[in-house]
Amino acid sequence: MDEAAYILKAIANETRLKAIERLRHEEEMTVSELMKELNCEQSLLSHHLTDMRAKGILGFRKEGKNSYYSLRLKEIANILDCIAKCKCN
């Protein structure tokens, strides 16, 4: 329950959820790509991504100028589906 709260806190944020939702359908994405798609400022997005990465939620790969982020815990995306169902009530 402890760890559940830890994970939920790490994703309970609009920008973070958007990133997760986006990464769910993509193998990996660069920060720039995410910036454009989420319409989020560079530094802010970087903070969010860095933190989720530190918490094991996102995967990471650096190549040249770019950083590639991916959804490491694929199951996390299912949470979004659960909530989508809740909303239908």
Partner DNA sequence: TTGATATATGAATATATGTACATATATTTG
Partner DNA sequence: CAAATATATGTACATATATTCATATATCAA
Chain positions contacting DNA, by CB under 7 A: 9, 12-13, 15-16, 30-32, 35, 41-44, 46-51, 60, 64-67
How many other CB atoms are found less than 10 A from the CB of residue 23? Answer: 24
CA-derived radius of gyration, the chain: 13
How many other CB atoms are found less than 10 A from the CB of residue 18? Answer: 16
Nearest approach, Cβ of 32 to DNA (angstroms)?
Answer: 3
| Nearer to DNA among residue 60 and residue 72 (C-beta) | 60
Please tell me whether residue 65 binds a second copy under the rule CB under 8 A: no
Query: How many Å from the N-terminal Cα to the C-terminal Cα in the chain?
Result: 26
Applying CB under 8 A, what is the total number of residues that bind a second copy? 29
Tokens in use for 69?
């982020």
3-state SS class at 41 = coil
Out of a second copy, DNA, none, what residue 32 binds, judged by CB under 5 to 8 A for its kind, is: DNA
Binding site for a second copy (CB under 8 A): 1-5, 7-9, 11-14, 16-18, 21, 73, 75-76, 78-80, 82-87, 89
